[in-house]
A and B are shown apart, each in its own frame.
Chain A
Amino acid sequence: MNELIAQSNMLLTDLSAQPMVLLIAVPLFAGIVCRFLPSKGGAVAAVIAFLTGIYAFLIAWPLFNAKAAAFSHHNWLALRLDGINGFILLATTVFSLLILIYSFGFMKGKDRQNHYYAYILWTLGASCGALLASEFILLLVFWGILGVTLYLLTGISGPEAAGAAKKAAIVIGGSDSILILGIALLWVIRHTTRMQGAPVEFGGPLSYIAFFCLATAAFAKAGAMPFHSWVPDCGEKAPASVAAFLPASLDKLLGIYFLYRTTTLFTMNSGVTTALAVIGAGTIIFAVMMALVQHDLKRLLSYHAVSQVGYMVLGISTGTPLGIAGSLFHMLNHAMYKSCLFLCAGAIEHRTGTSDLDKLGGLAKAMPVTLFSCIIASMAISGIPPLNGFASKWMIYQGIIESGRSGGVLWVVWLTAAMVGSALTLASFVKLLHASFFRQPSPEVAAAKPREVGPGMWLPMGFLALLCVAFGLRYLSPLSRFIFPAVNAPVSFTGKWFVGPATVMIAGALFGGLLLYLLGTVKKPRVCRTYIGGEYLDEVYISGSEKSTARDVEVTGVDFYQTIRDMTPFKQIYTMAQWKLFDLYEVGTHVSFFISKIFQFFHTGVLRQYISWYVIGMIILLWLMK
């Protein structure tokens, strides 16, 4: 007995000396503490979570700098740090920390804060575990925990989010079982569940099925089509901070990380890469077309969280070091601007109480920091140079062109899809900016009298927006520090984008324009009332007649792209989307209900019928086995 205690003590000291183990265990443990705090202890939970977040960052930073580490215990508890997961680990802790800071203000006064912080911490610990695991079984455990915390966090905002939470849990859970199948098949091929080792050559159906099983798990986590449908629901119904935390940043990091890991386990051939490219390009275009017509701010952003995955998948599908580096860089950049956008949405919702684009407007003056963060992040996601989204998309484009050098014509299709997707992204963000910030305020907004959110909320937003600018203007330094070590091959650019001289030029040109301004009369602008159609806008706008409060002159911007919706091929596609034909979850639900209906037909409750079925079945069986 004493020996056993001594042994377990030794094991504990052994484990607690391992920073990688601590990084997983401490957030999980702190989460348990938060979870069992009394429900009034929200502030305490927030402080515990914040301190844990800082602690995780302080461990992750030296780990990232160490570049390589390995730890294994009893053969199954195998952790491994290398170039690929190091920077993702660091990013995970940074995003968690930012979300925790934001949550101080955002969650203030809300119910079940102790639960919220517990789930966030569990997510953090499990994510670190999933990233560090070098054994598929261990990865599966953490992957499973992440599915559960996603369900809990999505459902935290109350009963109206229950459907979205259920959907997320079913899609992710379903993909988990496919992942188990993939791991089993891979074991049949390789006889090991290690995540390292010589890549498997494709040959025979088994290897293909194994690869696509693993890829399915990655797609479902990252939200690529056709496993995307949980993302828009989750993004719309979950609190904005959760949307910024999971579908926008952490799930992308994990999903794309896992997809990349999977591709390193196989020797890719052109059939597989083409399939990946089809998924990538399709995801970009379909999701962004859906985003164009959304009426809800958070749902619109969620469709972009799907669409951007397409770029990452496309980048990996090129198989060139440049494309893969671009893909990983895009993953990092996406986490920045998409979190920033969701945090902006959260700030808007916090002040106006709604995320319905039809009911927003006029926030440009009231919430300047939110406006500028939102504009920068919107331009970054649309790939406007010199922001970070441009740099990574530009690398992916080059990767696609480079992959075309080995022959084939399909690369033009992927490239066109990616570049047009970028313009469509811009279009939907322009709509978002108009409907929420620039147009005349809606009566709901006017009644809410919005003002800027507190520094706890705008600091993370502003920080992420500045990061978008910094990563764009200095794209080579994050690349060489974070991304290039992850790609096991030298990366060389085929295009040219010398952002240093370009920055000087942009600054110079802006200065030139400013000089023209200063020569002019801009210093003393006169504020004029808006005058349209022979009347002052504020008079026409507020009331057409004295009695009604109907607004006669109003452009919300929500229906800007009705033109596209009414156009022939798109009209039918949008109608099909309204029937949820592209939603695997809904289609699956219908199929399973249909099957159960067939069985219901036989399920009459009459015993004699059941017995006759048994007899018939027995006869068939006996005949078959004769």
Chain B
Amino acid sequence: MVRYLVHIGEVLIFPGLLFTAVIGLVTSWIDRKVTARVQMRVGPPFLQPFYDIVKYMIKETCVPAGASKFVFLAAPLFGLAAVTVASTILWRPMVWPEKSFIGDLIVVLYLLTIPAVSVVIGSFASANPIASIGGSREMKLILSYELPFILACLVPVIKTGSIEFGRILAEPMAAASPAGIIALIVAIVCMQAKLTLVPFDMPEAETELTGGAYVEYSGPPLGIFKLTRAMMLFTMPVFLITVLWGGIPLHEGAVPAVLGAVKYVGLIVITVLIRNTAPRVRIDQAMKFFWGPVTLFGVIAVIVAFIEGL
């Protein structure tokens, strides 16, 4: 019983929902601020993402006529739950290495696709053609990046022969080997699509689809979606660092922790820079891009990893 209460505490407060949400929202503030500075604007105050979430909560909830109300409202919750659990599973070994693991690499990999799936299902449940198009693009985007992303994630599996985070974390991957570096680059490109940030934001494409997948959402459900996105913005880089870059070992003292934080900020800066300098591509271009060159680099990373293991 106490064990379960501890689990609930972990998932709701630290390192789960509250922790991930706060850091995620702060990260989204960095993103917005940098974007604003790039565009010669002042940018929002520090607490703006938090104000936004509160405001979403007090706005009216609209459910489109003809929509499946339960699916429409439940979809955001499953996305939020998945990213929360994924984040908890990821952070546990980095905070308390003595605790047993809940899941492994494959579990987290699958959990991290659920937020995107929940957007797809939610958009379909809106019974709006524009949302349907957005949802279908999101689904095709999942298809595109999944192949190279899996290849990149297999590099540490080839190196360690294991899918356990404990074994993978023991190996300081990217810094040490060419295979790890290539895999990290591939994974960063895939992360951009997984976060549906420019140039891969065609599921919501404000200018042509007016929000696309989110077009019918308003109030708290939209707030939950935005919160989930902010949490993904935090969790995805952490996942990359954990799998390919030695992790952020909070338990090992200040220096490794700060080093991990620097890696995290570095990834965020790369993401924000790409988002502010690239134009949006079409979905077919994105698919060709991911299944073509990016997958090629993923395959090269895998081959190099095998060669290094000889």
Contacts and interface: CB of A to CB of B under 8 A. Distances in A.
Interface residues on A, range: 35 or more
Interface in A548-583: 553-555, 557, 560-561, 563-564, 566-567
6 contacts: A385-B111, A430-B135, A501-B3, A513-B76, A516-B220, A560-B140
Interface in A371-416: 371, 375, 383-385, 390, 394, 397-398, 401, 404-405, 409, 412, 415-416
Interface string B162-183: 1110000000000000000000
B23 interface: no
Interface of B: 3-4, 7-8, 10-12, 16-17, 56-71, 73, 76-78, 80-82, 84-85, 88-89, 100-107, 110-111, 113-114, 117, 120-121, 124-130, 132-133, 135-136, 139-140, 142-143, 146-147, 150-151, 154, 157-158, 161-164, 215-216, 219-221, 223-224, 227, 283-284, 287-288, 291, 302, 306
Interface stretch (A120-128, A132-140, A346-354, A517-525): A517-525
A459 B107 CA distance: 31
B146 A516 contact: no
A362 B66 CA distance: 8
B283 A563 contact: yes
Secondary structure dominating the interface of B: helix
Contacts of A525: 61-63, 69, 73
B300 to A, nearest CB: 13
B284 A555 contact: no
Contacts of A566: 284
Contacts of A526: 60-63
Contacts of B88: 505
Contact of B68 (A371, A497, A509, A563): A371
Interface of A: 362, 364-365, 368, 371, 375, 383-385, 390, 394, 397-398, 401, 404-405, 409, 412, 415-416, 419-420, 423-424, 426-427, 430-431, 433-434, 437-440, 494-498, 501-502, 504-506, 508-514, 516-517, 519-522, 524-530, 532, 537-538, 553-555, 557, 560-561, 563-564, 566-567
Contacts of A563: 140, 283-284, 287
A557 B61 contact: no
The CB with the most chain A CB atoms within 10 A, among B3, B88, B103, is that of B103
Nearest to B4: A504
Given A362-B66, A364-B71, A438-B71, 10 more contacts: A384-B113, A397-B106, A401-B161, A438-B127, A439-B132, A495-B163, A502-B103, A502-B107, A517-B73, A554-B129
Contacts of A433: 121, 124
Contact of B129 (A495, A508, A517, A537): A537
The CB with the most chain A CB atoms within 10 A, among B59, B66, B81, B82, is that of B66
A-B residue pairs, 10 tightest by C-beta: A520-B220, A364-B68, A509-B81, A509-B84, A520-B57, A495-B104, A438-B124, A555-B132, A513-B77, A508-B8
A438 B135 CA distance: 12
A427 B110 contact: no
A509 B114 CA distance: 14
B216 A530 contact: yes
B12 A498 contact: no
A512 B104 contact: no
A517 B114 CA distance: 19
Given A416-B151, A567-B287, A438 B61 contact: no
A430 B10 CA distance: 32
